[in-house]
Structure 1
Amino acid sequence: MKARFLFPHKWSLIGAILFILGFVVAALNYHYLHRIEVMQGDTTFDINGALHDIAILLWIGGLFLVAFSKEKIEDEQIAQLRLDSLQWSIYFNYAILVLCILFIDRWHVMLGVAAHFIFTPLLFFIVRFKWAIYQLNRSLKNTD
């Protein structure tokens, strides 16, 4: 993955903040504003649905920025780790999806589970990539 297609390193922190903010919005929505509706003229505006959508957008945007921001040192080895991690995240995501299809027999439940697969490729990628970088740094320290 060429570095020219990556966001600046500082945007990773912004992504992490957006991701955490998404959890705050979701928690507030669930605990305090659950099922509250505000009347606006002759239509009903569903705050619960709007906050749910905002939380999802914050999670996707935050994960996207964290996943595709440059590292402090972005070299060919990091690019290879990034590519390997992306490939493994897709493998893992579809393996989990196949297991869900095989073991969840109710269609409406499966749709709810499938909706979470919006986040999982990015999440799996970030975890695998950061773990690979951690192992690389640890092996470099052990050789010194």
Structure 2
Amino acid sequence: MNEEQRLNPRLNEDLRFTPKPGGPALYGATTEKPVQYLTVAERDGNVIGYVWANDEDDAAGWEVRKAGGDDAFNKGARWARKLHDAKARGLAPTTALAEMVRDSDPASSSHVVPDSLQQAPSLKTVTALAEQ
């Protein structure tokens, strides 16, 4: 068997990643405009992060609170998933926040802190809160 016969033709395939249309609908990940945000806490009241939204830029996201550690990061997946589901249903970002307030259950592992809906001049304000 010579060298040419041993080469697998698949080793020469073009493996570049080319994104295809039709993936999940997502809110924008950033905005320079004012945002509304909710505080999310565990059952014991420890704040684990913030959910924010801006309708003008169709943007929304989850900011995990750094001091919450791995547990806050893991519980935050639930809130990010709620945003993905809301976008898939065609909800405006702030409507998604209102739904989270309405459906929040303080008995669950994490919940929206009652009366925590606030306005921030920018996403940077919320990000700074999450760094504490």
Question: Normalised by the shorter chain, which TM-score bucket?
Answer: under 0.3
Q: TM-score, normalised on structure 1? A: 0.25
Higher strand fraction: Structure 1 or Structure 2? 2
Higher helix fraction: Structure 1 or Structure 2? 1
Greater Rg over alpha carbons, structure: 2
- Structure of higher RCO (CA pairs closer than 8 Å, 6+ residues apart): 2
